[in-house]
Amino acid sequence: MIEFKNVSFCYEKEHPVLKNMSFLIEKGEAVGLIGANGAGKSSMLKVLLGLLPHEGEILVKGIPLCKQNLAQIRRILGFVLQNSDNQMFMPTVYDDMMFGLLNYGMSKVDAERRVDAVLEQLDLTQLKNKYNHKISGGEKRMAAIATVLAMEPEVIIMDEPSVSLDPYNRRAVINVINSLTQTKIIASHDLDMIMETCRRVILISDGQIVASGDTDEILRNKQLLETNRMELPFSLSSSNN
């Protein structure tokens, strides 16, 4: 579904941010992207979305990521931003969900049908006509996910989906993530959430992939995590005390 071949990116030649990244994500996989602050996770996502230039080759469903193919690729990728306020910009949840569908040329009747189906799937029907500035942070995060799902992307990309959520809403987001059948890429410092949602992780440090493999195996490797300025997931560290 997604392939990076020797992908690099730098703001300045003397300071590379991504260094010769190569990996493959298969259709239907749920992959966690982990690493300390400044490791390069956000830059990697921005490169994948065509928001930053890159050297090397990126393929999405076999389609090369380049300016000519960007519109086609962005129909395949759905991105849930870390800050939902930057994603939900229309007055109501309904308006936000309709906006993208209508811009893609869908009729209003079909768009409304899609909106209702997604809200029902996520058990969020009660949010449909709520004003975005009047709902909680957790509700807004769920609404942002619904807005992306309404576009029916084949790949869901999430940047810190559990950040700033209370335990109840964090659990709701985890349940939604696990219910999705699309290919998923989840960048997060919440390693306990990664353990619950992803079967594979890619560990990035200083713009390079230093480990890729089974989630449980990597997240139990205390030496590996600490070498790369991370700690064991809370559930594992507390169980060892």
Taking CA atoms, 135 is separated from 39, 124, 162, in Å, by 33, 12, 17
Please give the pLDDT value at position 239.
58
Compute the distance between CA of residue 181 and CA of residue 28 in angstroms, rounded to an integer. Answer: 6
Q: State the residue range of the domain holding 158.
A: 2-239
Write the CATH number for 79. Answer: 3.40.50.300
> What does the alpha-carbon distance between residue 162 and residue 152 come to, in Å, rounded to a whole number?
22
Q: How long, in residues, is the chain?
A: 241
At 202 the pLDDT is: 97
Tell me the C-alpha distance between 43 and 48, whole Å.
9
The count of domains in the chain is 1
Per-residue pLDDT of the chain (241 residues; tens, 9 = 90+): 999 999 999 987 778 899 999 999 999 999 999 999 989 999 999 999 999 999 999 999 999 999 999 999 999 999 998 888 788 889 999 999 999 999 989 999 999 999 999 999 888 999 999 999 899 888 888 899 999 999 999 999 999 998 888 898 899 889 989 999 999 999 999 999 999 999 999 999 999 999 999 999 999 999 999 999 999 998 887 655 5
